[in-house]
Structures are given as structure tokens and as C-alpha cells.
Structure 1
Amino acid sequence: MENRVEGLHHLAISTTDIKKQIEFFTDKLGMELIALYWMHGAKETWHGFLRMNDESSVAFVQSPKIASIPASMGATHAGNPTAPSAGGTTQHIALKVKDMDVLAVMQQRLRSKGVPVLGPVDHGFCQSIYFAGPEGLALELSCSEKPIEPEKWIDPDVVGRAGISADELVRYRNPPRFVPPVHPVDQPGPDAPGPHMTNYPPGIYEKLIALSDKEVWDASESAPPVKDEL
């Protein structure tokens, strides 16, 4: 069995108004709210999940500190599907629908609720519509009839401009399989190449990565907030 990433479990988006986001995604896109609770390991923070399917969700995170962080188009947000934003930020979010028939229905649903929609647009490997969500989200709905064919969609001109060599391209298209070692790999320390998680209070990250896997697991919060009736 191949060990690899299989898909999107959830995409977490910061929000200053989780109710507004829930209202938009349930009303405009018909996505069901399936979880809304205090985020594990984060003080005064809510976590909400909207269902895409049984294994994938769009999630929102709200805490008091988010409202004090300024949003800036072209920096924190792109604002539309072709505009720039800072490295490491989300440029736009594309959600999957089954086919062109569903895409057409979603276009009409959005427009009937006052949301302007650009498209459909035929990109060859997918067909898409574009629209805005609350708080500057740049959103897309897409469908594909078949998987992307790399031979047709990896442009040699862009490969060269990205500084990718022929050997690197072969590796990127065929990532080496990882065979788990007999003995567990030790946790890398704070001086390891990384990348490393950031924005923790001083000294906290070092303490967290020094914990054993068992200590982290034992600190899990797995019980749902609503208890079964006896």
C-alpha cells in the first residue's frame, strides 16, 4: 500500500465573524454545518466545520485577536482569483462540484442570492465559476471530467522560469517512496532545517516539540462537546 497524502481533510480559514461565514456557506453554497466547538489547544477560540463530503470540510477559526489584525488586499488577501498576495497566504480557494450541470445550478443559486458570478470558464482540465466570500475570500467552484494529464499541462517555458531542472522535474513528477524505518525517527530539534511552526510565545515551540509522541497523544481532547443522554 502506497503511503501518500490522499486529499483535503479540512481547510482552516481565520475569521472575525464565524456566524457570517457559516451563514454564507450554508445559504449561498448549501454546505451543512457539522461542527462548532472550542478549538482544542487554543484559548478563547472557536472552530467550525462545514461539510463538503464525509472526509472533507471547510473550517473556520475565530478568536478575539483576529479582529485586531489588519486585512490588506494585495498582502493578506488577493481579493480576486488572479491578483497577488503575500507568500504563504491563500490566493484563492477552489471547491469541487460533480459536473457542469451542478456548476450551472450553483451559478444560478449564487446569483439568485445576490452574489455576482464570473463564468463558467473552460480551463481545459477543469471548468470553473468565480465569486467572492465574506472578509475578502476569493472563491471558485470547479469540476473536471478526467484527471489532469501532466504531459499536456506542465509547460516547459514555466518549468524553466521556475528554475526547475530536468532531473528535478523527474523527481517532482515521481516523488520517491518512503519506507518507514524499523525504529521511529527522533523528533528534529529547533535547530533542524525545518520549516518550523512560528508565532508561538517565546520558548513554547521548543517545549512542544520536546514532548514525546505519547505525551502529545495523551493530551488529546477527543470527546465531543455534546454528551450522549443516559
Structure 2
Amino acid sequence: MKRTGSHHLGLATYDYEGIVDFYTRVLGWEIAWQDLMTGPDGTVHMKHVFFDTGDGSYVSYMCPTADMPNFPKKWATDINSGLGVMNGAYHFAFWAESVEELEQQQARLREHNHPVTEIIDHGWAKSIYFRAPDGLQLEFCVTTRKLTEDDKLLKHRYQPGNPIYRERPDLVARDAAILGMPADRLIAIFGSRELETQFAHEKQ
């Protein structure tokens, strides 16, 4: 059997209109499917939508109505805070086909005044991070090189990050807020000259 990626991600929101606006207007995705889920008496209990990501997969959201029984009116839609884990532990990354497309996605978000990070280099992939209106952390990511046998080994690895973080504390503060981490941690992971020097020596 051919192994494939996900058909769709299933998420939940209590702000249906806000989610539809974000994915269609800001990200530019099209609605592929919508339906209403009803109870035995015909009362609408749930709104349901699928967004076409453009690569053959979908992102879906369910949104309970006020008539939905035994369902909370509010919950931690960002997932992480509800579980008490660190920000970004649960997040969802979408494909970018090239660095140029990654830059285009970043530009589109900024054109809509939606907070988005600088491009961050992970050493084998590059990413931008942002949040949906419900607080869920999202990402566009492009693979930038072929992975090797060494990449399969579990060990500490240097991430180039983005050198601009060393020079622009205003960008550090902004992107740390988007990522939900302290500014000094962002610098330590993605902007540390000391780490760059350390790993350069280790390779010699």
C-alpha cells in the first residue's frame, strides 16, 4: 500500500466566521465543502467546513452551535494551553514548494497585517510561523536539502535561525510573542553567534 500524507486535519472552533475569513481572505484558500450537522429533531448542532490547502489535502473545522448538547461554549482552541504544555508543542505546518513561495506566503500575511515571523532556517528546512485567530500555531515550511543518514541520528544540532535577531531586538520581541517563547530563548535557539561558533569548532 502506498504511504501518503494526511487527507485532512480536523480542528474545532467557536468562531466559525473568524476562521472562514482567515483561511479564505488571509491565506487565500478556497472552501471545498460545508455542511450542517443536525440532531434527530432537525436542530442544527454543528457547522462544518473543509478548506482546500492546494496540495490535495484539507483543513477542516467543526463549530458547535448554542443548541449543541454537552459541549463547552469555550475551550482552549490553541490546544497547548489547555494541555498545559509549552507553546508550539502542538502546531501544524503546511507545505511551501520553494523558498520563493515561502517568501510569498510571508508577504501575503503581512499585506493583511497578520503577524508572521521572519524566515527561520532549521538547517534542513526553512519556516515562517503565525497564528490562526483561535491562537493555534501554524507554519509554512519548505525542505531545503536532501536528508542524509546522519540526519536520522538523535543528537543536538545547530540551527542557523536568522542572524537578523542579533541586530533587531524589536523583531525578537515580535517573533517571540508569535512563537510564545521568551525573547532570550528565541535568541539562544535561532540567533546565537556563540552556538554558531561552537558548532563550527565541532566540525573541524
TM-score (norm 2): 0.62
Which residue identity is paired with 1:22?
V
Deviates more, 1:145-154 or 1:13-22: 145-154
Q: Is the 8 A contact 1:96 1:141 kept in 2?
A: yes
Residues in 1 aligned to 2:29 and 2:132: alpha-carbon distance in whole angstroms: 14
What whole-Å deviation, never above 9, does each CA across 1:55-94 have from its counterpart, x for those lacking one?
3011111113555243287532789xx6266xxxxx1111
Q: Is the 8 A contact 2:13 2:77 kept in 1?
A: no
Secondary structure of the corresponding residue to residue 70 of structure 1:
coil
**Does residue 1:68 correspond to 2:67, yes or no?**
no
Higher helix share: 2
Residues in 1 aligned to 2:39 and 2:145: alpha-carbon distance in whole angstroms: 40
Q: 1:151 to 1:97 in 2, by over 3 A?
A: same
Query: Aligned-pair distance for 1:4?
Result: 5.0
Q: Which residue number in structure 1 is paired with residue 54 of structure 2?
A: 53
Q: Which residue number in structure 1 is paired with residue 144 of structure 2?
A: 145
Q: Which residue number in structure 2 is paired with residue 38 of structure 1?
A: 36
Residues in 2 aligned to 1:77 and 1:98: alpha-carbon distance in whole angstroms: 32
Residues in 2 aligned to 1:150 and 1:11: alpha-carbon distance in whole angstroms: 30
**Does residue 1:29 correspond to 2:50, yes or no?**
no
Residues in 1 aligned to 2:152 and 2:11: alpha-carbon distance in whole angstroms: 29
- Number of residues paired by the alignment? 149
Q: 1:72 to 1:11 in 2, by over 3 A?
A: closer
Question: For the pair shown, which has the larger CA radius of gyration, 1 or 2?
Answer: 1
Q: 1:59 to 1:70 in 2, by over 3 A?
A: closer
Residues in 2 aligned to 1:22 and 1:138: alpha-carbon distance in whole angstroms: 17
Task: List gaps (5 residues or longer) in structure 2.
Answer: 158-204
Residues in 1 aligned to 2:2 and 2:140: alpha-carbon distance in whole angstroms: 25
Query: Aligned-pair distance for 1:35?
Result: 0.6
Residues in 1 aligned to 2:120 and 2:129: alpha-carbon distance in whole angstroms: 9
Q: How does 1:164-179 map to 2 (within 5 A)?
A: none
Residues in 1 aligned to 2:84 and 2:117: alpha-carbon distance in whole angstroms: 16
Larger RCO: Structure 1 or Structure 2 (Cα < 8 Å, ≥ 6 residues apart)?
A: 2
Which residue identity is paired with 2:87?
A
Residues in 1 aligned to 2:114 and 2:30: alpha-carbon distance in whole angstroms: 19
What whole-Å deviation, never above 9, does each CA across 1:5-39 have from its counterpart, x for those lacking one?
41110001101022211110111111111111124
Q: Is the 8 A contact 1:117 1:129 kept in 2?
A: yes
Which residue identity is paired with 2:8?
H
TM-score (norm 1): 0.56
- RMSD across aligned C-alpha pairs, in angstroms? 3.1
Q: Which residue number in structure 1 is paired with residue 129 of structure 2?
A: 130
Q: 1:6 to 1:92 in 2, by over 3 A?
A: same
